Amino acid sequence: MMQALLAGIAMLATAASAQQAFSTAKLDQFLDRLAEKNKGMGSLVLAKNGQAVYWRSFGYAQITASEKKPLSADTRYRISSITKTYTAVMVFQLAEEGKLSLSTTLDRFFPQIPNAPRITIAHILAHRSGIHDIEAGGGWAMQARTPDEVIARIAQGPSDFEPDTQHRYSNAGYNLLGYIVEKAGGKPYQEALKERISSPIGLQDTYLGTGNTDPARHEALSYRFLGEWKEAPELHFSVPGGAGAIVSTPADMAKFIHALFEGKLVKPESLKQMMTMRDGEGMGFESFTFGGKTFYGHTGGSNSSGSWLAYQPEDKLALAYVTNAKIYPVRDIVSGALDIYWGRPFQVPAFEAFQVPVELLDKYTGTYTVPNAPAKARITRQGSTLYFYPPGQSEGAALEATAENKFRIEPAVSFEFDVAKGEMTVTRAGQRRVFRKEP
């Protein structure tokens, strides 16, 4: 195992040196900057014609009071919703074998799901089924669940719309596809994944996660940065199943998508169906545009983990990025890596925080409430940094200043203070909420 690993790293170094126009030093600098400024951790692979031209990990797989275990070539990550591409491949394989068809309706397998007689496998693959997503609040998804419990949870939800009348992303639909792979193929998902994908193309570190993330299996724990790295909660692997429970490495991911486009997993007509976009969605595929070129693949995310797998068929270029600390936007990391690879203009971010006078920071500290709601949030100051404590939470998150009265928690939460009005506006995913400061 170690000899194979060392040989793989040597191959990476040789291939990278042969890529004359590719500034590996600049890409190293970009990832080093992310690590230095606590903007993320993870691993990146770029591969052309099935050969890796760049590999790099930065950050830590496990952080304890006594040690930090660095991410490495054999670190395995949650790839979250990229799992859907693997599930879709196995569904198409079963269709090619005549064990089901894309027109097969869901009632053959799960008649208890609302609208099952009118929902086809094709509808589910393309997120056009109307299957309501799992209501996973209250910690339900953090505990071990049996397939029957997951299916019952899905069946509780009413249909979001009539099949094929709309597009709406549904994790629950792919949960069901994972179980259909088992029912139609006659083998557990884990075994099917190994026999249908991993073994035929030589994936060494790709499997269905079980239980919780396990560092003893070289699996990376997920982290948030709250002034220091804190382990983040994650879904129990039994819940996302065929929608998001695969564990892999970026090297295996890049090998998988190259093999898929080389015709080693499904027939050309099946791949064409997967790639056909409708309302921005294929069947187990999404499409992305970088540098004016169209890529196919998928993205994934679960709490603080994130992943991106993309393939440019004409150039036979694969990019696989996985992170166990999703802070700086993953799309910006992917875009930056590709710009550097292509030699396009790219400025490595400085990530220099805006300096706000301490006396002004003190005007923002205090307790904030939402009118007609009991929830209370707190803002405190430690040194030159503000900390936000959500309602009912004893752990605060550091705020990064972007202007004298504007702050953020990357990747998607912003704060704006108005001292005169005694207000704090919090914006997340486009939703604004105004808090008023208590006297």
pLDDT digits (tens, 9 = 90+) for 308-320: 999 999 999 999 9
For 350, the token pair is 């400085």
Q: How far is it, in rounded angstroms, from Cα 166 to Cα 115? A: 14
* 61's tokens: 């797989």
Nearest alpha-carbon partner for 306 in 120, 79, 44: 79
- The mean pLDDT value for 322-351 works out to 95
Question: By mean pLDDT, which of 29-33, 302-306, 434-438 is the weakest?
Answer: 302-306
Question: In the block, which residue shows the tokens 């949650």?
Answer: 78
Kindly report each contact of residues 366-373 with a partner whose C-beta sits within 8 Å and lies 24 or more positions away, as own/partner: 366/437, 366/438, 367/437, 367/438, 368/424, 368/435, 368/436, 368/437, 368/438, 369/435, 369/436, 369/438, 370/433, 370/434, 370/435, 370/436, 371/436
Flag whether pLDDT at 2 surpasses 50. Answer: no
Q: Evaluate if residue 15 carries a pLDDT over 70.
A: no
Query: Taking 80 as the threshold, does the pLDDT of residue 298 lie above it?
Result: yes
Two structure tokens written together for 435: 């808090």
* Band of pLDDT at residue 4, cut at 50, 70 and 90: very low
**What is the C-alpha separation between 350 and 107, in angstroms, rounded?**
55
DSSP string, 140-167: GGGS---HHHHHHHHHHSPPSSSTTS--
User: Facing residues of 399 across strands?
Assistant: 386
Q: Which residues lie across from 336 on neighbouring strands?
A: none
**CATH superfamily of domain region 78-247+262-285+299-305:** DD-peptidase/beta-lactamase superfamily (3.40.710.10)
| 431 alpha-carbon distance from chain centroid | 22
| Residue 14 pLDDT level (bands cut at 50, 70, 90) | very low
DSSP state of 312: E
Q: Locate 220 and state its tokens.
A: 């990376």
In the predicted model, is pLDDT for residue 302 greater than 90? Answer: no
> What is the DSSP annotation of 381-393?
EETTEEEEE-TT-
Q: What is the pLDDT of residues 89-127, one digit of tens each?
A: 999 999 999 999 999 999 999 999 999 999 999 999 999
Say yes or no to pLDDT of 6 above 70: no
Q: What is the pLDDT of residue 375?
A: 80
Angle at 295 between CA 196 and CA 43, to 5 degrees: 70
Which residues, in sequence order, are bridge partners of residue 63? Answer: 68
pLDDT, one tens digit per residue, over 382-429 is 988 999 998 877 778 889 999 999 999 877 789 999 999 999 999 987
pLDDT class of 136 with cuts at 50, 70, 90: low
pLDDT of 11 strictly over 50: no
Determine the pLDDT at residue 226.
77
| Confidence band of 16 (pLDDT split at 50, 70, 90) | very low
The pLDDT value given to residue 127: 98
For 208-275, give the DSSP string: E--SS--GGGTBPPPEEESSSEEEPP---TTTTGGGT-EEE-HHHHHHHHHHHHTTSSS-HHHHHHHH
- Are 306 and 326 within 8 A, CB to CB? yes
How high is the pLDDT of residue 5?
A: 40
Contact 43, 250 (CB under 8 A): yes
Query: Which residues, 6 or more positions from 259, have their beta carbon under 8 angstroms from its beta carbon?
Result: 50, 201, 265
Spatial contact of 284 and 87, defined as CB atoms under 8 Å apart: yes
Return the domain boundaries, the chain. Answer: 78-247+262-285+299-305, 358-437
Task: Flag whether pLDDT at 13 surpasses 60.
Answer: no
For the chain, what is the mean pLDDT?
92
Report d(CA 217, CA 223) in Å as an integer: 18
Q: Say yes or no to pLDDT of 163 above 80.
A: yes
Residue pair 117/129 in contact by the 8 Å Cβ criterion: no
224 versus 152: the higher-pLDDT residue is: 152
Q: How far is CA 201 from CA 9, 50, 55, in A?
A: 19, 12, 20
Q: Are 186 and 139 in contact (CB under 8 A)?
A: no
Res. 9: pLDDT tops 50: no
Name 147's Cβ contacts closer than 8 Å, sequence gap at least 6: 179, 241
Is 183 a residue whose pLDDT tops 60? yes
Confidence at residue 419, expressed as pLDDT on a 0 to 100 scale: 95
Identify the CATH number of the domain defined by range 358-437: 2.40.128
Phi, psi of 81 (to 5 degrees): -70, -10
Q: What are phi and psi of 433, to 5 degrees?
A: -135, 125
Collapsing DSSP to helix, strand or coil, 416 comes out as strand
Are the C-beta atoms of 35 and 58 separated by less than 8 Å? yes
Range name among 38-42, 327-331, 371-375 with the lowest pLDDT average:
371-375
Q: What is the pLDDT of residue 425?
A: 96
- Confidence bin at 20 (pLDDT 50/70/90): very low
At residue 435 the predicted structure's pLDDT band, cuts being 50, 70 and 90, is very high
Question: Which residues are paired to 433 by β-bridges?
Answer: 426
Report whether pLDDT(7) > 50. Answer: no
Beta bridge partners of 120: 105
Pick the more confident residue, 150 or 19: 150
With a CB cutoff of 8 Å and minimum separation 6, the contacts of 271 are: 260, 261, 263
